[in-house]
Amino acid sequence: MMRFKAFLYIGIGIILAGCFSNSSDEQKVIRIGTSVGDFGTMARDFIAPELKKQGYTVKVTEFSDIMGPNIALNDGSIDINTFQHRFFLEGFNQSNNSNLLPIFQIPTGPLGLYSGRKQTLQEVEKGAVVAVPLDTTNYSRALILLQDLGWIELSENVADPFSVSAKDIISNPHGIILKEIESPLIPRIRVDVDYAIITGNFAASSGIPFTEALFTDPHYNFINWAVIRPEDAESDWVKAITEAYHGAEYKAYIKENFPGYKHPASWNSR
């Protein structure tokens, strides 16, 4: 009888240990890494309180180094990051032999054409001067934006849409003059040009509302993504944070607090 009770106690102990082990294995702290600014604000002001309702604690780290959020995610210092478009991520994965995984889009400040000396699109004249970013990727985006606007036409034979150059312009009916400027400086020299093409991050950091843009990028190639390690893809916390970033309350929060942002493509079908 004593031997039976001993086995019974041992069995109960094993069951209880298993229960406590499963509970402790469930991740309840989510570490989010972002670049400095709006993405951190979104995570702190809305996502953290929303996930707290489900028992999660969210810790947000903002990185001033543009490579920081991916390095930290890759080495396990954070669990998810929200700051980059897919082309940047693909470049990081190739350079670092990593396989970080994009899981959903997030609201992003768009590339836009802003007024300078001219206040409306209708005022464009022959020889209008447009300030465009100097770096290759954003210069390419600027040319594609001008084509979408109908001010120039690009060759259909461009091999890489992200290394478009002036030589790829096959039609320029307005005689647009492109003035190449370093991206951080463009907001300051708007008064010296007719129009200025400004990336979302530098418009935001310069206090320029996105709603003031005369035209914004209609494509989704450069919208930013939330990124995780692939082994976490089926985790409960990933499902919880995905739902938080797609809920009706979050959409209302973004529309009220971040006007002019480009919304994820999936929002159009939900």
What is the pLDDT, as a whole number, of residue 23? 38
**Residue in the structure block whose two tokens are 């209302």:** 252
Q: Where residue 269 falls among pLDDT bands split at 50, 70, 90?
A: low
- pLDDT value for 21: 35
Higher pLDDT, 66 or 147: 147
pLDDT value of residue 160? 80
DSSP class of residue 136 equals H
Given a cut of 50, is residue 195 above it in pLDDT? yes
pLDDT per residue as tens digits for the range 128-178: 999 999 998 899 999 999 999 999 999 998 878 788 999 999 999 999 999
- Positive or negative, the CA dihedral 185, 187, 190, 193 is positive
Q: Angle CA(27)–CA(33)–CA(35) in degrees, nearest 5?
A: 165
pLDDT > 70 in the chain, percent: 90
Average pLDDT over residues 30-51: 95
Contact between 157 and 136 (Cβ < 8 Å): no
| Averaged pLDDT score across all residues of the chain | 90
Is the per-residue pLDDT at 270 higher than 90?
no
pLDDT at 14: 37
Return the pLDDT at 7: 42
pLDDT score of 158 = 83
For the chain, what percentages of helix, strand and coil (3-state, to nearest 5) are there? Answer: 45, 20, 35
C-alpha separations of 246 from 37, 39, 226, 259 in Å: 20, 15, 12, 17
- Greater pLDDT, 266 or 5: 266
Average pLDDT for 58-86: 95
E-assigned strands of the chain? 29-35, 57-63, 80-85, 101-105, 112-115, 129-133, 153-154, 169-171, 177-181, 195-198, 215-216, 224-228
What is the mean predicted confidence (pLDDT) over 241-267? 96
User: Encoding tokens for residue 160?
Assistant: 């890489």
Percent of the chain with pLDDT over 90: 80
pLDDT at 22: 37
Give the count of beta carbons closer than 10 Å to the beta carbon of residue 88. Answer: 18
Residue with token string 């461009």: 158
